[in-house]
Structure 1
C-alpha cells in the first residue's frame, strides 16, 4: 500500500487523470451522466494547454517535440464530442513518463545491481577482537575477517589457506573461483561457505569494485543525444500524421475522421523505444563485463570499421618474463639485473614489474634511488648507489651511452637496454606471450564488419611484426610515442575507429579515438577515465562482444521504432476510412505503445547471449561471452 501511495504522489497527473475517469463512471452510474462530458472535456483541455506551454518552449529552443500530435488529438477529440477518447489520450500523454521509468528500470537492472552491491561494512581484526568499521575506514595492511557469503569490502590478499569466491558481479563469470593463500581477492566478490582472513591492499576508494561503481554511475547518468533517435523522425512523422488526418477529413467531410486518425498517431515508438533499447544494451554490456559510458558509444561500436590495438597488455598478457641477461663492459649478469630492477622500481611499465620479479626470484637486493624519472614509452633514469642508470629502448639509452650496441633478439622477444654512468652496460631480453584468444577475437571482429585492424606499439618493429603476422593484423606501427599514436588514429579514414589499450600511456589515444576501450582489469585508472568503454576482466574477446552488443542494440532500437511507426501508420490508414472509432483507436494506441516497449526491451539480451555463447565457443575454442 505504501508503495502505491509513493507512486501515486510521484505520478500525480496520472493519478488525477484516473480519478477524473473514476468520477465520470460514478456520475454516470448515479444518473448524472450529463456532467461527465463537461468534466472530461474541461480536464482534457486544461492538460492540453499545460502541455502546449512546454511544447512552445521546446520549439523556441529549436527542439521539435512530438507532443504536438497528442495535444492536437486532445483538442480535436473534445471539439468533435469524443470526450472518452480525449481522456484516454490524456492518460497516454501523462502516463508516458511512468511507462518510460518502468521500462528504464527493467532495462538497467544489471547496472543498478552493480550500484546497490557496493560494500558498506568491514570486520577488522585488532587486539584479538572483531571491530565493525565502515568500508571507507579500512586502510592497506588492515587484517579483516570476511564471513561466509559476505562481500569482500576492499581489494585484499587471502591470508587463510583457501576459499571459493563468486566474482560474477565483476567479471560476469558465474562459476566460483578457487583462491589460495596469497591470491588476490577483488572487492565486490562474494566469499564462499568458509570465513576467511584477508589483508587489505587498497582503500575502498582505490579498490576495483569502487572504480567499477564510479564507471557504472557515469554510464547510468549519461544521456547521449543518440538515444533521442526520435529527433531524426519527429518532423516527418508529425507532418505525415497531420496531413493524413486532414485528407481524411477533407475527403469524408466529417471532422470526426480527423480525430479518429490522430488518436492513433502515437509518438511512443519515437520517444521511448530508443532510450529503452540503449539502456538495455548498456545493461547487457555490464552483464558481460564491459561498462559502456553512454548510448552514443553503443552506436559508434555498431558502426565501427577500424580497430586499433596496443600490444603489451592488450594483444599480449602484459606479463613479460625474463629470458636472458646479456651484460657488457665488465658487468655480471646478477649485477646488471640488480641495477635494472633497482631503477625500475620507479616505473609503471609492465616490463618493470617483470624485472623486479626476476631480481627477487634470484634474491638480489634492490637499492633505493636518490632520484628517478620516467620518460613515457622510452624508459627510466635513476641514480642508484651513486651511479646514473638509464634503462629502456635502444634509442633512449644510446642518447646517454654512445657506445650502445643492439643485441640480436628472436621473434616475439623484447630487449631492454642499460647504460651506467654514460657507458653501455648490456641488455636484458624478455618475452610476453600472445593472448590465446587474440586471433579469434580479430576473426570475430572481421565477421562483425570491422575489417581493418592496426597495431600501435612502442616496442621494436621486429617484435611488433611477429605478433601482427601471427594474428593477422593488417597494419603495424612500432616505436610509437603517445603523440604518434594520437596522430595515427586521427589519420584513419575508415571510421568510426576503436582503440583498445590498457596502460596510462594509452590514455591520450583512447580519448582521441571514436571509441576508446580500456582493458581495466589491472586498474589503469587514467586509461579507464579516458576511455568510452572499460573491460572489467582481463579478456580481449570482450572487445568483439562490445561491438556485437552495439550492433544488436542499434538494430533492436531501429526495429522497435519502425515496428511502432508501421503499425501506427497502418492503423491510421484504416481509421481514415472511418472503420476505427476514436475511443477504440485511443485504446489501440496504448497497445502499440506496450508492444513497442516490449520489443525495445529485447536489447537486454539474455536470449541473445544464450544463443550466441555456445556457437562462438565452438567456432573459436577461445572467445567467452560470460
Structure 2
C-alpha cells in the first residue's frame, strides 16, 4: 500500500467492500453489464485518487510502487476481469486498516504511557488549608499538593511529609518502591504507595520529568521510518520485473488477460506494509528496555554503527559525585564552600548538587546572588548582592581572574573545582565520581556488536579523564573539550555511523551533530534529551547495547519481511504467467501475502526478549519486573 493510500478513509473500504458484494450478487442474477458499469466506476474513482498523489510524488523524484497497483486495476477493467479489479481496490483500501491494526498493536506500550499521564492534582489552598482538585496544567511552582494512595504524582516536587513511598518504575525503570524522606526530590509519573503525603511543586506539568518522556513518546509514535524509503527504492526494479513477466506472458500466450492476471499478484502492498510495522514493533521493544527511540531512522543507523563516543561524567561515571575534601586558600574552607554553593545553585552540572547539599548539611548561610551565568564546560560566574564576582569551575576558567595556580597532586579519579571570590582564589573543592559498575561490561558488549572504534570526549581535565578511561578500557581520550570541540571530534571521526552518548547541557550540540545521539535522561538532562535521537530513561548504561541489539534485529526482520513479500509475489506472478492462477484467485492470494508480511514484521515486538543484558544476566532487575504500562518490560 503506497503513501497515497494512507489518506484513504474507512468509507473507501466500505465502498470497495459494498461494490464487491453488489457485483457478486449481480453476477449471480446474470446482470453482467451492470457489474461492468459498477466496477468500472469504482475502479476509475480509486485509480484517479491514487494516480493524483502518485504523479505528485513522481514529480518530486519519488518513484513509488503505486504505479503497479494503477496498471493492475486498469488492466483488469480493459480485459473484463471486474471482480479481480474490485478485489484489488478492496485490498488497497483495506490494507490501510490492516496496517493501522498492526501499528496499534506495536505501539501499545507507547500509547499506554501517554494515556496514564496525570490529568489532575489536589492543591492545598494557603488561605484555609482546604484541598481542591485542579487540572494538572494549573499547578504552579510552589503549590502544596496532596498525593493520595495509589495516585500518580502530577508534577516534580519535594516531599513535605515525614516520608513518602513511591513506585518510580514508570520513569526510572527501578521496580522496587523507594522511600523518600522530607526534602527529597520526587518525579512526576511515579505512583504513590499506600500513604497519603504532601509535596511542594518544583516544576509545572509542562516542565516536569514525565511530561518530557511523554513528549518523546509522541515524537516516536508520529515518526516515519526512513526504511520505508528503502522499500520505495525497490519500486523501479520490482515494477520492471513485474511488467516484464506480464508482457512475456501476454506475448507467449497471445492473451491480454494473462497480462492482467500477472499484475494482479504483483501489487506491492507487502513491501510497504512490512517496514513501518517492523519499526513500530522495534521502537516498542526499545521502550520495554527503557529506551525511547524517537524515530525509525534511528533504529536503522543504530544497526549499522561502527564508532561510539562517550562523555565521562554521568555517562561512564555514576553522575553522583561526592565532596571528599575542601582546601582553603584566601578564605576558609567553610567560606569557600558557601560561596561555591551560592553560585552552583544556578548550574545544571552534576557537581552542583553535591556541593549545595554539603553546604546545607553544614548549615552554612549562602551569600545572596544578584545574577549568574553558566558557561558550558567551564563553570559558573555569579555576581553577589554586594557586587563581587564569584567564579566556580575549572582551573583555567578561574585563572582568568586570578593568578593563583596551586599544586594539587590529586589522586586518580578525583576532580578539582576551583572557587574565586572578588578576583582571588578562595579555595578548591575536591570531588570524586565513581565509575559505573556496568561500564566495562557495556563497552565489551559494544565491541562484540562490531563497534570497535570507541573513544571518550569530555570537558574534564586530562588526568581525571585518563583514570576513568583506564578503568573502563578506553584508550583514545579527548579531554578538556568545549562543546564546539566535541562536535569537531565527532564530525571528523572516520568510522561511520558514529554514536555519541552524553547527559548534560554541554553535550546537547554533539548529540545533535552525531549520526546517532543518545542521552542519559534518567535524571533530567532536558537539553541533551531534546537534541538526542534516543533517550535512555533508566539510570543504566547497559541499555545502550540492548537498544543496538534490538535495532539490528528490527532491521533484519524488516528486510526479511520485505524480501518475503517480493519472493512470494514473484512466485505467484510466475504461476499466473503460465495460466494456472486466474485473476480473482490471484487477487485473493495477494491478501494472504499482505497478512504474511504483517505477521512476519510483528516479530519485532519481541526483540527485547533477546537483548544482551537478558542473555548475559548483566541487566538490572528492571528488565524482569516492571509493571505493564511503564517504560520498561512487563
TM-score (norm: length of structure 2):
0.91
Partner secondary structure for residue 325 of structure 2: strand
Name the CA distance, whole Å, in 2 between partners of 1:115 and 1:594. 29
How far apart are the structure 1 equivalents of 2:391 and 2:231?
A: 58
Q: Which gives a bigger RCO, structure 1 or 2 (Cα 8 Å, sep 6+)?
A: 2
**CA distance 1:587–1:93, change in 2 (3 Å):** same
**Structure 1 residue 565: deviation in Å?**
0.6
Q: Are the counterparts in 1 of residues 72 and 267 from structure 2 also a CA contact under 8 Å? A: no
CA contact (8 A) 1:489 1:513 kept: yes
d(CA) in 1 for partners of 2:563 and 2:360?
63
- Segments of structure 1 that go 5 or more residues without pairing to the other structure are 1-8
SS in 1 for 2:319: coil
Which residue in the other structure is 1:282 paired with?
283
User: 1:82-161 counterparts in 2 under 5 A?
Assistant: 82-126=81-125, 127-161=128-162
Q: Which residue number in structure 2 is paired with residue 199 of structure 1?
A: 200
- Asked whether the 8 Å contact 1:412–1:466 carries over to 2, the reply is yes
Partner residue in 1 for 2:242 = 241
Give yes or no for contact 1:227–1:295 (8 Å, CA) kept in 2: no
For residues 547-586 of structure 1, the aligned pairs below 5 Å read 547-586=548-587
Q: Secondary structure at the match of 2:26?
A: helix
Query: Residues 279-326 of structure 1, C-alpha deviation per residue, up to 9 Å, x if partnerless?
Result: 222222223222222111111111111111111111112221111222
Distance 2:440 2:84 in 1: 60
| Structure 1 residues 328-477: aligned runs within 5 Å | 328-329=329-330, 331-384=331-384, 387-477=388-478
Q: Structure 1 residue 351: deviation in Å?
A: 1.6
Name whichever of 65-74 and 481-490 sits farther off.
65-74
Cα displacement (A) at 1:84: 1.7
C-alpha separation in 2, matches of 1:143 and 1:510: 37
Query: Does residue 1:71 correspond to 2:55, yes or no?
Result: no
The answer (yes or no) to whether the contact 2:542–2:613 under 8 Å persists in 1 is no
Shift in Å at residue 239 of structure 1? 0.5
Q: Render the CA deviation track for 1:349-370: whole Å, top value 9, x for unaligned.
A: 2222222222222222211134
In the TM superposition, residue 617 of structure 1 has moved relative to its aligned partner by 4.4
Change (3 A) 1:300 1:198: same
Query: Counterpart of 2:626?
Result: none
Report the counterpart of residue 209 of structure 1 in structure 2: 210
What is the alpha-carbon distance in structure 2 between the residues aligned to residue 232 and residue 27 of structure 1? 41
1:344 to partner: Cα distance: 2.7
Uncovered stretches (5+) of structure 2, i.e. residues with no partner: 1-7, 624-631
2: CA distance, partners of 1:24 / 1:540? 60
Cα distance in structure 2, aligned partners of 1:489 and 1:231:
31
Q: CA deviation at 1:180?
A: 4.8
Superposed displacement of residue 207, structure 1: 0.8
- TM-score, normalised to structure 1's length? 0.92
The size of the alignment, in residue pairs, is 615
**In 1, Cα distance between the equivalents of 2:401 and 2:613?**
55
Work out the CA distance in 2 between the residues paired with 1:379 and 1:36.
79
Whether the 8 Å contact between 1:541 and 1:623 is mirrored in structure 2 is no
Cα shift readout 1:136-187 (whole Å, capped 9, x = no counterpart): 1112332222233322211133344555444343345555445555443321
For the aligned residue pairs, the C-alpha RMSD in angstroms reads 2.4
Contact 2:172 2:522 in 1 (8 A): no
Inter-partner Cα distance in structure 2 for 1:224 and 1:615: 27
Task: Identify the range of structure 1 (165-174 vs 504-513) with the bigger mean alpha-carbon deviation.
Answer: 165-174
CA distance in 2, matches of 1:334, 1:181: 25
**Partners of 1:379 and 1:161 in 2: CA distance:** 35
2:23 matched to 1:24? yes
Work out the CA distance in 2 between the residues paired with 1:271 and 1:541: 33
